[in-house]
């Protein structure tokens, strides 16, 4: 159902593509691509484009990736460029940062971002802060990527969202793609960026197909880091989200549309730097804001967005307090009924929208 909606949603792109191609007389070459394949293709193309790019992490080579994101890359590029590491995050993250300092462009995969906590000193103190501490002498062109946030039935130690933790730190760029197009364009931008980028994927999105236009399939298709995208236009309320929660927002918007409530859904795409301008512009139109995230509420993404809005020009346009829809403030439980009730559901978004609109 989600994939059908995705197809319908991007129907506008397909139509524009058709109209553009009319002149050349060739049919649009839009294809269905899963997020996983989009990531795989992006890495493949960047590995081909620049010899200094290489991938390291647990099981990325001979296993084809724990989640098969790096499938086929080892066969194609070999041991030098696709490196299986021992289970030593602090060590291999440090090695990746050192390699970046010495002129290479590593992609360091964490099997999940939960394991990045073992290495977080290398990400923050060795990677993020070095350009500043050296006053511009030493740059660190590295990408840390891997699945982030809740999955399905993996319980508390494997379900944490790190968007707020990494989003807190100057010197890092933090990116959270939703669709296949996001994954492709943002990963390419991240790899080409000369700075440390934390690239937060989502395991539950890996298998989801999206329509990808020919333009997006081109080898130099890049999405700029730091720019949000409006996935759905609306006049009544702004929904701001990132990663998998964008899907839920769009689903909620479809349900609300039947009741005459038109939601504007913003896909953040980037956590840091935050595209506050896009959110403010939207609020100036809709006068209402609900943020939606999978992570915990306290000191989180929604908290930051609300603070920005309070301090900025959009505050005066709010007709009601802005609110956050977040994961429940507990470690993630295992039992399905408990897990389902630990993260936002479509009904929670609908409820919060109606409360905010006072309907």
Partner 1 sequence: MYIGLLQIYFIVPWLASCFRQSGARVVVSARTYADFTPQATFDIKKCDLHKLEEGPPLQAMLSREEGLQYYRTMQTMRRMELKADQLYKQKIIRGFCHLYDGQEACAVGIEAGINLSDHLITAYRAHAYTLTRGGTVREIMAELTGRRGGIAKGKGGSMHMYTKNFYGGNGIVGAQVPLGAGVALACKYLGKNELCVCLYGDGAANQGQIFETYNMASLWKLPCIFICENNKYGMGTSVERAAASTDYYKRGDFIPGLRVDGMDILCVREATKFAAEHCRSGKGPILMELQTYRYHGHSMSDPGVSYRTREEIQEVRSKSDPISMLKDRMLSNNMASVEELKEIDVEVRKEIEDAAQFATTDPEPPLDDLCNHIFYNNPPMEVRGTNPWTKLKSVS
- Alpha-carbon 326 to chain mean position: 16
| 3-class secondary structure, 298 | coil
* Residue 25 binds partner 1 (CB under 8 A): no
Between 6 and 83, whose beta carbon lies closer to partner 1?
83
* Residue 104 binds partner 1 (CB under 8 A): yes
Using CB under 8 A, which of 4, 23, 25, 102 touches partner 1? 102
CB 62, min distance to partner 1, A: 14
Longest CA–CA span in the chain (Å) reads 60
Which two three-digit tokens encode residue 19?
Answer: 């109209």
Between 132 and 299, whose beta carbon lies closer to partner 1?
132
* Residue 188 binds partner 1 (CB under 8 A): no
CB 289, min distance to partner 1, A: 17
CB 61, min distance to partner 1, A: 13
Q: Catalytic amino acids?
A: 89, 158
The order of strands in the sheet holding 229-232 is 229-232, 263-267, 237-241, 289-292, 323-325
Using CB under 8 A, which of 31, 101, 204, 284 touches partner 1? 101
* Residue 96 binds partner 1 (CB under 8 A): yes
Angle at Cα 169 formed by Cα 168 and Cα 171, nearest 5°?
Answer: 145
Residue 146 φ/ψ, nearest 5 degrees: 160, 170
Helices (H), ranges, 88-129: 89-101, 120-121
Number of residues near partner 1 (by CB under 8 A): 44
Using CB under 8 A, which of 1, 4, 137, 337 touches partner 1? 137
Phi-psi region of 81 (alpha: psi -120 to 50; beta: other; left: phi over 0): alpha
Query: Which residues, other chains included, contact 21 with Cβ-Cβ below 8 Å and sequence gap of 6+?
Result: 27, 28, 214
Binding segment (CB under 8 A) for partner 1, from list 135-143, 244-252, 279-287, 328-336: 135-143
CB 122, min distance to partner 1, A: 6
Using CB under 8 A, which of 30, 39, 97, 250 touches partner 1? 97
Give CA–CA dist 129/140, Å, rounded: 9
Please answer whether residues 317 and 284 qualify as being in contact, where contact means their C-beta atoms are separated by less than 8 angstroms.
yes
Residues of this chain that interact with partner 1 (CB under 8 A) are: 54, 80, 83, 85-86, 88, 90-104, 121-122, 125-126, 130-139, 141, 170-171, 173, 194-195, 273, 311-312
């Amino acid at each position: 159902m989600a994939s059908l909606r995705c197809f319908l949603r991007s129907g506008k792109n397909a139509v524009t593509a058709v109209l553009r191609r009319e002149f050349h007389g060739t049919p649009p070459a839009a294809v269905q691509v899963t997020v996983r394949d989009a990531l795989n293709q992006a890495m493949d193309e960047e590995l081909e484009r620049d010899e200094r790019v290489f991938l390291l992490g647990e099981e990325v080579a001979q296993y084809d990736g724990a989640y098969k994101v790096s499938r086929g890359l080892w066969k194609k590029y070999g041991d030098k460029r696709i490196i299986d590491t021992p289970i030593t995050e602090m060590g291999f993250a440090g090695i990746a940062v050192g390699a970046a300092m010495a002129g290479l462009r590593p992609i360091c995969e964490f099997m999940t971002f939960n394991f990045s906590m073992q290495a977080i000193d290398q990400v923050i103190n060795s990677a993020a802060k070095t350009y500043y501490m050296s006053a511009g002498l030493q740059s660190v062109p590295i990408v840390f990527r891997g699945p982030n946030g809740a999955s399905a039935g993996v319980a508390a130690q494997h379900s944490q969202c790190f968007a707020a933790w990494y989003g807190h730190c100057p010197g890092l760029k933090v990116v959270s793609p939703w669709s296949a197009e996001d994954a492709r364009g943002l990963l390419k931008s991240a790899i080409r960026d000369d700075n440390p980028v934390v690239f937060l994927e989502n395991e539950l999105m890996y298998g989801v197909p999206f329509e990808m236009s020919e333009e997006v399939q081109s080898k130099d298709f890049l999405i700029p880091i730091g720019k949000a995208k409006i996935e759905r236009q609306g006049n009544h309320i702004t929904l701001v989200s990132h990663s998998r929660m964008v899907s839920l927002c769009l689903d909620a918007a479809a349900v609300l549309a039947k009741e005459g409530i038109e939601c504007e859904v913003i896909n953040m795409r980037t956590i840091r730097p935050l595209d506050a301008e896009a959110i403010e512009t939207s609020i100036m139109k809709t006068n209402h804001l609900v943020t939606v995230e999978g992570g915990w509420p306290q000191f989180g993404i929604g908290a930051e967005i609300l603070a920005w809005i309070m301090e900025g020009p959009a505050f005066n346009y709010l007709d009601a307090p802005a609110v956050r829809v977040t994961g429940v403030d507990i470690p993630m439980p295992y039992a399905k009924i408990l897990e389902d009730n630990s993260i936002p559901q479509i009904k929670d978004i609908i409820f919060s929208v109606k409360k905010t609109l006072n309907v």
